[in-house]
Amino acid sequence: MERSQIEAKLTDLLVDELGLERDDITMEAKFEEDLDVDSLGVVELLMALEDNFDVKIPDEEAEKITTVGEAADLVNQKLNG
Amino acid sequence: MSEITSRVALVTGGSRGIGRAIAELLAGHGHQIAINYVSNEVAAAEAVAAIEAAGGTAIAVRGDVGDQEAVDALIKDVQDRLGPVEILVNNAGITRDDLLMRMRPEAWDDVMQTNLKSVYLCSRAVMRGMLRGRWGRIVSLSSVAGVYGNPGQANYAAAKAGIIGFTMSLAKEIGSRGITVNAVAPGFIATDMTAALGDDVATAAAEKITLGRLGLPEEVASAVGYLASEDASYITGQTIVVDGGLAL
């Protein structure tokens, strides 16, 4: 999957699963500060990523994610090495 | 009562005593029951058979709930056979009573592991499924020993009080996702655990109980069953004391 496709699918997940406004979502946006996603919401997003991209995200890698772009990076790295 | 949705319920230490009464009651509410046990396979099979004879669904799952690998394996086993755990009853518990002056570190550690670490491990293991389903009930068995203290039970009381703090904290963490977390603190209940204390202790205990008798496992189970039900949807972070008025 191309990086751009990952970003598009990730954006859809953020809208559908976490109820975010599509216009607010940028790759630089910080989940907790900019998007008002609480820490449990980030955990839920990671679960959704695992389900939708069919990847495994270990807790120690998940803990480092603070922005939308970092989440896309992680999925990209899992899928494309 | 509200209309009942059939859920998957895991009762740790569900083969005997209060755990078995809880398993049978939840099965009677139409839920599918996983009865966890660690050593008494015969008792677990009997509990499953009793539920099936009454028209319910139950399976037995072996595993030490104080051990992370065992917990992960047994939760997966339940998920594969029945589905994600939607109702978790943290009931498994042991006693290693002694005066603190004589209490060995193993007696402390064993009780902490089986009675408190198990609550953390099992709750964490079922969390993902409950978050996905946006519904969940966690009910943990505390004890009056954890509320009022009891001589000879510093380890047990500490673990049971720990459950109350755990319950309030987890309730706050996941309340926004439709998951409630509560505890039930039984007093003196007629089980193998209290029978081991001897008749004298039971008689002396009954004199301090407002209702004048020991409780029955079913009387604890009914409180657990209520907290696990749809009817208790607005109750979270609480500890219901079921002790026949011990402290009055």
Rounded to an integer, the average pLDDT of B132-138 is 94
Tell me whether residue B156 is one of the annotated catalytic residues: yes
In DSSP terms, which residues pair with B11 in a beta bridge?
Answer: B35, B89
DSSP string across B6-38: P-EEEETTTTSHHHHHHHHHHHHTT-EEEEEES
DSSP string across B59-121: EEEE--TTSHHHHHHHHHHHHHHT-S--EEEE---------GGG--HHHHHHHHIIIIIHHHH
Q: Give which of B72, B128, B134 to mutate to test A binding, by max A Cβ within 10 Å.
A: B128
CB contact under 8 A, A47 and B132: yes
Query: CA-CA distance, B179 to B127, in Å (whole number)?
Result: 9
Show the tokens assigned to B118.
């198990």
The residues, any chain, with a CB within 8 Å of residue B16's CB and separated by 6 or more, are B40, B43, B47, B191, B192
CB B119 within 8 A of CB B62: no
pLDDT of the residue at B2: 55
The residues, any chain, with a CB within 8 Å of residue B241's CB and separated by 6 or more, are B144, B147, B184, B185, B187, B247
Q: A19 falls in which pLDDT band (50, 70, 90)?
A: confident
Residues 23-42 of A with CB under 8 A from B: 38, 40
pLDDT of the residue at B57: 97
List CB contacts (< 8 A) between B176 and chain A: 38, 40
Residues 41-80 of A with CB under 8 A from B: 43-44, 47
pLDDT of the residue at B3: 60
Catalytic hit among A23, A38, A51, A54:
A38
Looking at per-residue pLDDT, the higher value among B222 and B4 belongs to B222
- Tens digit of pLDDT for each residue in B52-75? 999 999 999 999 999 999 999 999
Chain A residue nearest residue B128, CA to CA: A47
- Tens digit of pLDDT for each residue in B198-246? 788 788 888 999 999 999 999 999 999 999 999 999 999 999 999 999 9
Query: CA-CA distance, B37 to B88, in Å (whole number)?
Result: 14
pLDDT of the residue at B248: 73
CB B213 within 8 A of CB B219: no
List CB contacts (< 8 A) between A44 and chain B: 131
User: Does pLDDT of B33 surpass 70?
Assistant: yes
User: Does pLDDT of B1 surpass 60?
Assistant: no
User: Does pLDDT of B192 surpass 90?
Assistant: no
User: Does pLDDT of B153 surpass 70?
Assistant: yes
Give the one of A40, A44, A47 whose C-beta lies nearest to B173's C-beta.
A40
pLDDT of the residue at A80: 87
8-state DSSP, B44:
H
- Tens digit of pLDDT for each residue in A27-50? 999 999 999 998 888 888 888 899
**3-class secondary structure, B39:** coil
Q: Phi and psi of B201, rounded to 5°?
A: -65, -40
To the nearest whole percent, how much of chain A has pLDDT over 70? 100
Question: Using N-to-C axis directions, what is the helix angle for B118-133 and A39-53, rounded to 10°?
Answer: 70
- Tens digit of pLDDT for each residue in B76-131? 999 999 999 999 999 999 999 999 999 999 999 999 999 999 999 999 999 999 99
Query: CA-CA distance, B224 to B142, in Å (whole number)?
Result: 11
Least-confidence region, from A53-62, B32-41, B106-115:
A53-62
DSSP string across chain A: --HHHHHHHHHHHHHHHH---GGG--TT-BTTTTS---HHHHHHHHHHHHHHHT----HHHHTT--BHHHHHHHHHHHHH-
pLDDT of the residue at B247: 75
Chain B residue nearest residue A47, CA to CA: B128
Least-confidence region, from B46-60, B131-145, B187-201:
B187-201
